[in-house]
Amino acid sequence: MSAPIDYNSLDDTSAGRIAQAGFIAAMFAVPDVVQGRGARAAAWTGLAAANLAAIAVMNAVDEDPRNDLTAAVERAPEKAGSPAQTWGVLGLGVAVLGALTYVNVAFYKAAAGWLRRRGVSRPYSALGFLAGAGYIAARRLAT
């Protein structure tokens, strides 16, 4: 069995994993730190862009030639369906992603409310810390 293809070199090192955990924690903590719906959206967008930029920089020095998407597409047999099937699958994917996001946000709002009622002054930051630590633990267990 061959080694899995590495599509994200940012998570190859402890420093990269800590950076990813930091992005996760920061994304969670935004409601505790930024006031106003528009400002929060801007903060989340900025954090997402910074995370994608960090991944892009790390992937610019790509050590695994097997993850070249263009070469993989050229090697793959033609299995495409009709445009209607493709758009149907994409639409279903967007709908499922939207539903999961809605449920996820509702869960974290409820968890933050529960923590706040128990005296945690910055519940989203606490959830972010737990999520970041969980990411590091999961990556550690996966290797």
Query: What is the DSSP track for 46-65?
Result: HHHHHHHHHHHHHHHS---G
Average pLDDT over the chain, rounded to an integer = 85
Closest by Cα among 6, 8, 3, 18 to 140: 18
User: Rounded to the nearest 5 degrees, what angle is found at the Cα of 92, between the Cα atoms of 86 and 93?
Assistant: 90
Structural domain includes residue 99: no
End-to-end CA distance of the chain: 16
Answer whether residue 76 is part of any domain.
yes
Number of domains in the chain: 1
The CB-side HSE value for 27 (13 A sphere, CA atoms) comes to 19
Whether 44 is covered by a domain: the verdict is: yes
Q: What is the CA radius of gyration of the chain?
A: 19
In a domain, 21, yes or no: yes
pLDDT band at 14 (very low <50, low <70, confident <90, very high): confident
**For residue 72, what pLDDT band results from cuts at 50, 70 and 90?**
low
69: containing domain: 9-80+121-142
Assess contact for 9 and 58: CB atoms under 8 A: yes
pLDDT in tens, 80-116: 678 888 899 999 999 999 999 999 999 999 999 999 9
Q: Averaged over 6-14, what is the pLDDT? A: 68
Q: What is the mean pLDDT of residues 55-75?
A: 69
Is 37 domain-assigned? yes
